[in-house]
Amino acid sequence: MDFEIRQVAPAEHDALGELTARAYLDDGLLDFGESDPYLHELKDVAKRAAAAEVLVAVADERVLGGLTFVPGPGPMADIARPGEAEIRMLAVGRAARGRGVGEALVRACVERARALEGCTTVVLSTQRTMRAAHRIYERLGFARTPERDWSPLPESLDITLLTYQLTL
């Protein structure tokens, strides 16, 4: 690997927030584009870092990608139950794609989950169109859990997030 995975530094919050927002916008993952309320959540790395662990992939002092590792139920968890860790907001900048950044970030979360006492599972939510991410999850042994699929918005908007889990 020509990059390192580590906890985000406060000086990198803005860069990671912009990278994450840009990745979601450019890939058409925000149903309401620039006016999508989730865009603010994606940009607010400081808030995430205060409540969970935010990891970055860095090369030559440049942020290539990042994600949020949630060690269990709490303010940053969407679906984690007791004994489960959760991965959220995986994003890799366009220029860094194809280098194994996304997979390395997910592997780092799995390692962290294995080190947590009482943690038996890693869970995550993803959109149907995030096919590259699905390939990473499946390559690492995650399995679909359709019984846990859910919608972050009212049903009338027909947005369903798919769920995956990895039993440790």
**Domains of the chain, each with CATH number or no CATH:** 4-167 (3.40.630.30)
Beta strands per DSSP E along 29-148 = 53-59, 62-70, 84-92, 121-126, 143-144
- Given a contact cutoff of 8 angstroms between Cβ atoms, the answer to whether 84 and 72 are in contact is yes
pLDDT of residue 32: 84
pLDDT of residue 122: 98
- Given a contact cutoff of 8 angstroms between Cβ atoms, the answer to whether 76 and 48 are in contact is yes
SS3 96: helix
Question: Digits of tens for pLDDT over the chain (168 positions)?
Answer: 799 999 999 999 999 999 999 999 999 998 888 998 899 999 999 999 999 999 999 999 999 999 999 999 999 999 999 999 999 999 999 999 999 999 999 999 999 999 999 999 999 999 999 999 999 999 999 999 999 999 887 665 678 999 999 999
Largest CA distance in the chain: 45
pTM reported for the whole predicted model: 0.95
Q: Map tokens 């679909």 to a residue.
A: 144
